[in-house]
Amino acid sequence: MKPKFTFSLAALVVCASAFALAQTGGAPSSPALPAAPGTPNDPPAMATSANGNKFAAINIEGAIFASNEGQRDMDVLQKKFQPKSDDLKTKNDEIEALKKKMNTQGASLNDDAKAELQREIEQKQKALDREAQDAREDFQNQQNEIGQRILQKMAPLILKYAQSNGIGMLVDTSNPWPQGPVIYSEPVDVTKLIVEQYNAQSGVPAPKTPATSGSSKPGSATPRSTTPATKAPGASSGTTPNK
């Protein structure tokens, strides 16, 4: 499951507004900031409008969770919720066993026994659905906290990068089309560069990934595949709808 969270972009919006005001002469312009060491001044194939304004795209959600810090904190969160996930799976297996009993032995049960078994299945299913929903909401709330905390530190870096590279518009592609307005942005995407700079700034080492896991390497973020796979508790039990 792709990490799904809602976060406040207030700090980013405020800083962006101030930056735009400075660029239009409403306030003294800040001196150009140098690009981070080891990175190009321009993103690959930077798009430029007829009036010279540069355009770029970034998957902010992807950058957050593809960063070393994001991967580390999500791994901790996954391990924290693993016991709950295992418990939900056990309860789901018990319900499936009762359903199988109903299918295989239902014809031989008398009406009272069959009705009692059906009530037991329904009661256990409802209890599991509620427990799985509560666990998923708790998981997502804590995931939101991780995203918000990292965003507060990453936002100034993003704006600094945009300013130092003369980018007049930076579009967030976290919500893909048709949920979001951007259909295609890969040639002007700067997500990978931001992840690399944030990793250098944070000092958090790359997580150790088993060679057989098949997960992407840190810093390999792209608009379509930027976040490590995550699963909220109860997601595999079949008791809750997919996001």
Is 239's pLDDT higher than 90?
no
Cα distances (angstroms) measured from residue 163 to each of 42, 126, 185: 11, 53, 20
pLDDT band at 212 (very low <50, low <70, confident <90, very high): very low
Q: At what angle do helices 68-105 and 111-164 cross, to 10 degrees?
A: 160
Please give the average per-residue pLDDT across 160-184, as a whole number: 88
pLDDT band at 51 (very low <50, low <70, confident <90, very high): low
As a dihedral over the C-alpha atoms of residue 137, residue 143, residue 148, residue 154, rounded to 10 degrees, the angle is -160
Identify the residue with better confidence: 183 or 32.
Answer: 183
Amino acid sitting at position 57: A
Is 227's pLDDT higher than 60?
no
pLDDT at 1 (0 to 100): 43
Check if the beta carbon of residue 15 is closer than 8 Å to that of residue 158. no
Check if the beta carbon of residue 16 is closer than 8 Å to that of residue 161. no
Mean per-residue pLDDT over the chain, rounded: 75
Check if the beta carbon of residue 36 is closer than 8 Å to that of residue 197. yes
Check if the beta carbon of residue 202 is closer than 8 Å to that of residue 79. no
SS3 category, 73: helix
Identify the residue with better confidence: 179 or 95.
Answer: 95
Token readout for 32 is: 């150009």
Helices (H), the chain: 10-23, 60-66, 68-105, 111-164, 191-202
Check if the beta carbon of residue 188 is closer than 8 Å to that of residue 43. yes
- At residue 74's C-alpha, the angle toward residues 73 and 80, to 5°, is 95
How many CB atoms neighbour CB 148 within 10 A?
16
CB hemisphere CA count around 118 (13 angstroms) = 10
Lowest-confidence pick of 65-74, 145-154, 162-171:
162-171
CA dist., res. 242 & res. 228, Å (int):
17
Is 221's pLDDT higher than 70?
no
Write the pLDDT tens digit of every residue in 100-150. Answer: 999 998 888 898 999 999 999 999 999 999 999 999 999 999 999 999 999
